[in-house]
Structure 1
């Protein structure tokens, strides 16, 4: 099965970064130049760039351009970060608004994180998560399609972990989490009702079942002034 063109561009750019063809901290060529190089529209090129920014491989600086991201210091954590459970523990009513929900071929990063192959399909959904109707985070979740087969959109876009337990008898185990700080883009600021450039806490989480099989890869952008994590050692 052929990968979508923007995924192929995404994978090619990522390989250039990993092979040090584009050095950490260096600015990548402008969108117009890359679109010509890949023989695609700028809209298609932007899909690939946006995905790489979401994954922390590239950084976009408004007014300056797009750069190869610096590697972040990582803090190893274990356990599950369920937005629904966090909100309930804080006596807030959790809710979600689904922005997009579709089945696609996985990107290279998704294949690596979820231990799947190019011919697998994944469900990718974008959601705004709320606590007491206040937007807390914007989330992009990727799940191998076979884990959610037979489940409705309402099931999956609600409390996924709870539905997997109740309807699929799948028990989440450990999660690997990576945190970084960034600034809200115009799009994210609009979704979260904040100002462009406000502080964002970026969480990337890969969650596995009890047997160690990864079933979810999530990229979440939390409003810095509305949410904080803490770590106990």
Structure 2
């Protein structure tokens, strides 16, 4: 199964960055130039760039272009972020809308995050998460397909953690990275925001109790509707 074209471009650009073609802080070529180089539409190229921005590999600067992201200061947060559990604990009703649900070949970033072999497929799903019907975040979650292949789609999209725990899996710890960014046109549309409004981006790799990574999530939260706090 061949990866979508935008994922192939994502992989190519990521390899270029890792090989040193573009240095940290360096501006990459404009979308028009890159779309011609890859022989794809600007829409497809823009989707590839956006996945790299969502992963923190690239960063957009309004009026200046797109740059290889600089390393950011990281702060540990205590506990695992489960949207369903957090929402319920605050007396709100969590729901979700599935935007896409695809079994496919993983991107390089997904393979690295989940420690996958070359032969493994992944389930990649995009969801809008709501609390009392108010859109809170847009989430892209990737899990090894062989881990969830026996479950129904509804079991996975409603609450993956609860489904795993009901079937004997124990959730371990998570590595989380939080940073700020501006909402793209697509994310703004999903979350009922204006393009360019502030959002919080969370990248999380979650492991089972035995240390096996089972989930790689990239989530963008409406900044005015969600906050994180740290415990030390």
TM range (shorter): over 0.9
Name the counterpart of 1:117.
117
Shift of 1:12: 2.0
Shift of 1:62: 4.6
User: Structure 2: how far apart are the matches of 1:65 and 1:231?
Assistant: 33
User: Structure 2: how far apart are the matches of 1:81 and 1:4?
Assistant: 29
Q: 1:184 to 1:115 in 2, by over 3 A?
A: same
User: Structure 2: how far apart are the matches of 1:27 and 1:68?
Assistant: 6
Name the counterpart of 1:184.
183
Superposition pairs of residues 111-150 of structure 1, within 5 angstroms = 111-150=111-150
Instruction: Name the SS of the counterpart of 2:45 in structure 1.
Output: helix
Instruction: Name the SS of the counterpart of 2:75 in structure 1.
Output: coil
Q: 1:74 to 1:36 in 2, by over 3 A?
A: same
Name the counterpart of 2:73.
73
User: Structure 1: how far apart are the matches of 2:126 and 2:3?
Assistant: 20
User: Structure 1: how far apart are the matches of 2:118 and 2:41?
Assistant: 24
Name the counterpart of 2:155.
155
Superposition pairs of residues 1-233 of structure 1, within 5 angstroms = 2-166=2-166, 168-233=167-232
User: Structure 2: how far apart are the matches of 1:202 and 1:58?
Assistant: 13
Shift of 1:39: 3.0
User: Structure 1: how far apart are the matches of 2:4 and 2:127?
Assistant: 22
After TM superposition, the score normalised by the length of structure 2 is 0.94
After TM superposition, the score normalised by the length of structure 1 is 0.93
Asked if the contact 1:78–1:176 (Cα under 8 Å) also holds between the matched residues in 2, the reply is: no
Shift of 1:120: 1.2
Instruction: Name the SS of the counterpart of 2:102 in structure 1.
Output: strand
User: Structure 1: how far apart are the matches of 2:111 and 2:117?
Assistant: 6
Instruction: Name the SS of the counterpart of 1:21 in structure 2.
Output: coil
User: Structure 2: how far apart are the matches of 1:182 and 1:88?
Assistant: 27
Instruction: Name the SS of the counterpart of 2:106 in structure 1.
Output: coil
User: Structure 2: how far apart are the matches of 1:164 and 1:205?
Assistant: 17
Asked if the contact 1:184–1:198 (Cα under 8 Å) also holds between the matched residues in 2, the reply is: yes
Q: Which runs of 4+ in 1 moved over 6 A?
A: none
User: Structure 2: how far apart are the matches of 1:32 and 1:132?
Assistant: 41
Shift of 1:128: 0.7
Instruction: Name the SS of the counterpart of 1:216 in structure 2.
Output: strand
Shift of 1:78: 4.5
| Structure 1 unaligned residues grouped into runs of 5+ | none
| Structure 2 unaligned residues grouped into runs of 5+ | none
Instruction: Name the SS of the counterpart of 1:201 in structure 2.
Output: strand
